[in-house]
Structure 1
Amino acid sequence: MASIARTSLLREAATASRMASVRPVFQQQPLFQNTARIAAFHASSRRNLLPPPQQVVVGGVNDAAPVPAPNPSHGSYHWTFERLVAAGIVPLTVAPFAAGSLNPTTDAILCALLLVHSHLGFQVLVTDYIPEKRFPKARKGFSWGLNAVTALVGLGLYEFETNDVGVTELVSKLWHA
């Protein structure tokens, strides 16, 4: 990529020098007028993929920040549940291989915890990066989409556990392959 940018820079300089001899002195432009815009090692232009949303000011400077309604499934309880799920995955990942037995119940609990852990992580992404105040329809759409994908993955894991070898057996086979 750098060689392409350099040759275009050289071509521009050569064209500018040829044109400088043809133009009168008062119309001559500097030899490297576009060098500030040309970056030798940049492969893409500076443009946003999505346009920024409308900038709307709601309320005044001295308005208090809105306090959300108390909900037992959010806040510290929610955080504690996320930590318990994440901590529970660790022993369930190691236990089937350390004990030497592949138990379908352990495998099912591991799959359920992985599914809940993934869902909670993606739910935090939707909450953090799609503000409900600015994008109410997109937020609802992404939330429903996440729920649908989680249900679909849960169905797929259930089918894989009941009709095939299961997750821990698959990891074991891939590890020894």
Structure 2
Amino acid sequence: MASIIRPTLLRQTGLAASITRRAASAAAAPTSIFALNSAFRSTVAKDAMRVAAFHASSRRSLLPPGPQVIKGSVNDPAPVPEPHSTHGSYHWTFERAIAAGLIPLTVAPFAAGTLNPGTDAALCALMLVHSHLGFQAVIIDYVPTSRYPGLRKACMWLLNAATVLVGVGLYEFETNDVGVTEAIKRVWKA
């Protein structure tokens, strides 16, 4: 896509026209090849700065590259984990059951018009577990164990600590205050 747009940007900024104009004026004057080459380079450098305003990102990376460790040789096969017939299926089913259970628990207190502490506690528990599993999936996907084993473990511990902290906060909010559904109802009517 960028290769299609690039000629249009060059025409819009006038880079191509200014390069041909300056090269023609430099060729008309009796100078050496070295002077013509340096004039061409300075023209390209000046006009490239105008084109750089159209680029959305810089060429430098935000984070330094991870450790570059190669285990084995090029001819070693890729490690294949031992197959298990139920690997991941229970986890996937559990995630989908929690996501499906959140739908009626979110609508029920408002549709029925009653605020039941049991329904509210179940909603808070499912929201907490659903959020924990979602953030856990993000850590598993974006912090690979092979490259960052210490960082993966630290992220998991931080996630577990945050989940416990939020769980204690939701328990306190449910027992000592109005509860989640009543708070949502009050904010909605405010």
TM-score scaled by length of structure 1: 0.77
Report matched runs for 1:16-31 at 5 Å.
25-26=31-32, 27=35, 29-30=39-40
Instruction: Name the Cα RMSD after superposition.
Output: 2.7
Runs of 5+ unmatched residues, structure 1? 1-8
Q: Give the paired residue count.
A: 158
Q: Secondary structure at the match of 1:134?
A: coil
Question: Residue 167 of structure 2 aligns with which residue?
Answer: 154
| Equivalent in the alignment of 1:106 | 119
SS class of match (1:32): helix
Q: Which amino acid aligns with 1:36?
A: A
Distance in structure 1 (CA, Å) of the matches to 2:117 and 2:169 = 16
In 2, the alpha carbon distance for the partners of 1:71 and 1:131 equals: 24
Looking at structure 2, the residues matched to 68 and 114 of structure 1 have their Cα atoms a distance apart, in angstroms, of 33
Q: 1:130 to 1:106 in 2, by over 3 A?
A: same
For the pair shown, the structure with the greater C-alpha radius of gyration is 2
CA–CA distance in structure 2, aligned partners of residues 42 and 173 of structure 1 = 47
Q: Which residue of structure 1 lines up, in the alignment, with residue 108 of structure 2?
A: 95
Kindly report which structure 2 residues correspond to 1:119-134, keeping only aligned pairs within 5 A, or say none: 119-134=132-147
Give 1:32's aligned residue: 43
Q: Deviation of residue 148 (structure 1)?
A: 0.5
Going from structure 1 to structure 2, the CA distance change for 1:111 and 1:68 (only over 3 Å counts) comes to farther
Residues 51-90 of structure 1: pairs in structure 2 closer than 5 A: 51-60=64-73, 61-68=75-82, 75-90=88-103
Q: Which runs of 5+ in 2 are unaligned?
A: 1-12
**Could you tell me how far apart the structure 2 residues matched to 1:158 and 1:71 are?**
38
Please report the TM-score for the alignment, with normalisation by the length of structure 2.
Answer: 0.72
Change (3 A) 1:64 1:54: closer
